[in-house]
Structures are given as C-alpha cells and as structure tokens.
Amino acid sequence: MAWGKDCSKWEDDIDWASVLYEERNQGAGDNFLMTTAHADQPLSEVFWYSEFSAFDPEHDLATVPILHISDHDRKDYLIRMYHSQLEEGPPSKTE
C-alpha cells in the first residue's frame, strides 16, 4: 500500500518491477503482488486497512513491512502509529 507524495507513481513502479521479475523468471513460482495507492486517505486509515482488510486466502500475511522513504527518520513514530491504530480500531471518517 503506497501512501504520500507520488504514491501512485511508486505503486506503478512496484507493479512494473513485479512484472519484469516474472518475465525474467518465466513466471517461476506462485508469486503475486497486489498494490494499492492511497493518496487521499489518512495514513492511519491505510495502516488499519493493511491489517484488517488486506488478506490472501492462501497465504499468511503476518508481516507488514513499512518502507518509509524520506530525508527524515520517522521509523519510531510510524511503528507507534501503526500499533496504536490496531488498538484503536477503524479510523473515523472525520480524521
């Protein structure tokens, strides 16, 4: 799930990288990558969605990687925000 500045471009780039990987490996394996961009949603809503709405019936999605690309280190803040969103439940629409 891509969020923030140019998130649609990031989503497209990840999709193309996945396609190229599959082409180079002749479709080897059962890899499947689903991406989404969330430019108009608060980050708290994206975090909630990643935990409670994103699923795969055949694979356990136990790990949620957070890739933050920025000039500023916000790792601790983002991890706290992610975990607090899980505890608080679905975000309100007024956020």
Task: Give, for all 95 residues of the chain, the pLDDT tens digit.
Answer: 889 889 999 999 999 998 888 888 876 666 677 788 999 999 888 888 888 888 878 777 777 778 888 899 999 999 998 888 877 766 665 54
- In the numeric block, the tokens 């994103």 are attached to 54
- Residues in Cβ contact with 48 at an 8 Å cutoff, skipping those fewer than 6 apart: 85, 86, 89, 90, 91
Which DSSP state fits 26? Answer: T
Check residue 93 and give its pLDDT.
58
Please, are residues 78 and 67 in contact by the beta-carbon 8 Å criterion?
no
Residue 44, classified by CB atoms within 10 Å of its CB into exposed (0-12), middle (13-18) or buried (19+), is middle
Reduce the DSSP state of residue 76 to 3 states and report it: helix
Whole-model pTM: value is: 0.69
